[in-house]
Amino acid sequence: MIILTLNCGSSSVKYALFNTTANEMLVKGIVERVGLSGSFIHQKVGSQEIIQKFRCDNHQIAILYVLKLLVSPSEGVMKNISEVDAVSHRVVHGGEEFVESTIINSSVEKTIADLSSLAPLHNPPNLQGIQAAKAVLPNIPHIAVFDTAFHQSMPEYVYRYAIPSKWYLEKKIRRYGFHGTSHYYVSQRAMKLLHSSAESSRIITLHLGNGASVAAVKDGKSIDTSMGLTPLEGLVMGTRSGDLDPGIVLFMMQTANLSSKETDKILNRQSGLLGVAHSSDMRDIEEKAIQGDEKALLALKLAAYRVRKYIGAYFVALGGLDAIVFTAGIGERSSHFRSLVLKDLEFFGIELDQEANLEAVCGTQERIISSNASKIKIFVIPTNEELVMAQDTERIVNRIDNKNIKVPR
């Protein structure tokens, strides 16, 4: 089955093309600066890369250009776009309505739109991508894969906040969690590396990128995660504050006369590593720290300490631990940050192999970086959210075909 995966942001479209029968990614690429000047597409086919500039006023034009490139005589991998069997769409917020991936119809689109109040930066462009792709490819199944779905297994005492019940009942304010597709993929891979069944595993997954989150995965299911109602809660991130006393928000709004819009911008786009070190790029911060920059050193310690706190908390929540998994940009590439996170955790039975940790910084394959003496395995596992999307889509399309269900509009 040939499946196109789409991840539409406000000004970008990430895409990949899979042959699920051969378990092979044929193409991976991104359209940058959608709706802005200087739009371009960057596509990889094996070891070959192409970058092309073009005018891209909206998501539909972006998707049309992607499809054109996929069937191009020189850069393409298909003869005809009709070879695409289904399209898989990443949707950030599925609320309580979606506990798994689902085929998209008008009702699903309406629910995604209704949930935009919970994810105003993410769901609207996700929906734009869905509508644009359906306009271009109207006669094949389109599947929504939700970031929040994996965390729907959290018990109520974990996902509820200690706020007035009517806030939850009327506004659905609760912990949802994000990066679910990534946490699911790397926890499944960790179980295989542990030779463990889903019924007997306790894993902490660390998705550490510009956006970052931790998940406690027990017996293959998420039982807790650091992000909450929105992606703002939890770890110190590139530009997001993560956990903080809500009284700070009230204090600053009152004393600095900040509007809710201004406060949102500060907490989501001007805080985190950027707020402390004046840079949101971990590579720059690590380089400055090596040179003795005090702000960079503080940012690293602060961010690593927050991750360590969550490891301790989730160790207890899981009732023990079999493995820790590092993934995403920082988790996969920064040996220095991994060592800071795991510093002085030997009393927990967590011991890093320093040589293996340094070696992993250059590798893209899965590897173990714990020492032989470590009671808890430590893995670096590159995430593959697109593969999960493709596999989920194949499963749902096969279910539709087996039941002879017509593709909904």
pLDDT at 141 over 70: yes
Say how far apart CA 277 and CA 271 lie, in whole Å. Answer: 10
pLDDT at 253 over 90: yes
Question: How much of the chain exceeds pLDDT 70, in percent?
Answer: 96
Which pLDDT belongs to residue 401? 59
Reported as a pLDDT band with limits 50, 70 and 90, residue 385 is confident
Which pLDDT belongs to residue 117? 78
Kindly report, residue by residue over 220-235, the tens digit of the pLDDT. Answer: 999 999 999 988 999 9
pLDDT at 188 over 70: yes
Query: 157: burial class by Cβ within 10 Å (0-12, 13-18, 19+)?
Result: exposed
Walk across the sheet containing 212-218 and list its strands: 221-225, 212-218, 202-208, 323-327, 377-380, 367-368
Question: How much of the chain exceeds pLDDT 90, in percent?
Answer: 59
Q: Where in the chain is CATH 3.30.420.40?
A: 2-146, 196-385
Which pLDDT belongs to residue 364? 62
Say how far apart CA 371 and CA 380 lie, in whole Å. Answer: 13
Whole-number mean pLDDT of the chain?
90
pLDDT at 57 over 80: yes
> Does residue 256 or residue 120 have the better pLDDT?
256
* Range 6-33 average pLDDT: 87
- Neighbour tally for 4: CB within 10 Å: 28
Which pLDDT belongs to residue 405? 45
C-alpha distances out from residue 399 to 94, 102, 140, 316, 395, Å: 21, 11, 14, 39, 6
Query: 75: burial class by Cβ within 10 Å (0-12, 13-18, 19+)?
Result: middle
Say how far apart CA 197 and CA 202 lie, in whole Å. Answer: 11
pTM of the model: 0.89
Q: Computed from CA positions of residues 152, 158, 159, 164, in that sequence, does the dihedral angle turn out positive or negative?
A: positive
Is the separation of the CB atoms in 145 and 14 below 8 Å? no
Regarding beta strands 323-327 and 377-380, do their DSSP bridges make them parallel or antiparallel, or are they unpaired? Answer: parallel
Among 56, 187, 46, 77, residue whose Cα is nearest residue 132 = 56
Kindly report, residue by residue over 284-330, the tens digit of the pLDDT. Answer: 999 999 999 999 999 999 999 999 999 999 999 999 999 999 999 89
Which pLDDT belongs to residue 365? 84
Which pLDDT belongs to residue 178? 92
Rounded to 10 degrees, the C-alpha dihedral 92/96/99/103 comes to: -70
Among 15, 114, 139, 124, residue whose Cα is nearest residue 66 = 15
Reported as a pLDDT band with limits 50, 70 and 90, residue 406 is very low
Which pLDDT belongs to residue 408? 46
Reported as a pLDDT band with limits 50, 70 and 90, residue 82 is confident
* Range 109-128 average pLDDT: 85
> Does residue 129 or residue 217 have the better pLDDT?
217
Q: Computed from CA positions of residues 266, 239, 221, 216, in that sequence, does the dihedral angle turn out positive or negative?
A: negative
pLDDT at 404 over 70: no
Say how far apart CA 282 and CA 357 lie, in whole Å. Answer: 17
pLDDT at 362 over 90: no
C-alpha distances out from residue 359 to 102, 211, 339, Å: 40, 24, 13
Sequence-separated (6 or more) residues with CB below 8 Å from residue 174:
96, 159, 160, 161, 168, 229
pLDDT at 402 over 60: no
Query: What is the CATH number that goes with domain 2-146?
Result: 3.30.420.40
Among 70, 92, 90, residue whose Cα is nearest residue 81 = 70
- Coil, strand or helix: which one is 62? helix
pLDDT at 407 over 50: no
> Does residue 291 or residue 360 have the better pLDDT?
291
Instruction: Identify the CATH class of 196-385.
Output: alpha beta
Long-range contacts of 189-197 (CB under 8 A, 24+ apart): 189/325, 189/366, 189/379, 189/381, 190/323, 190/325, 190/377, 190/379, 190/381, 191/220, 193/323, 193/366, 193/368, 193/377, 193/379, 193/381, 194/322, 194/323, 194/377, 196/322
Say how far apart CA 77 and CA 87 lie, in whole Å. Answer: 16
Residue with tokens 């596509």: 43
Catalytic residue annotation: 147
Which pLDDT belongs to residue 108? 93
Structure tokens at 277: 């070190």
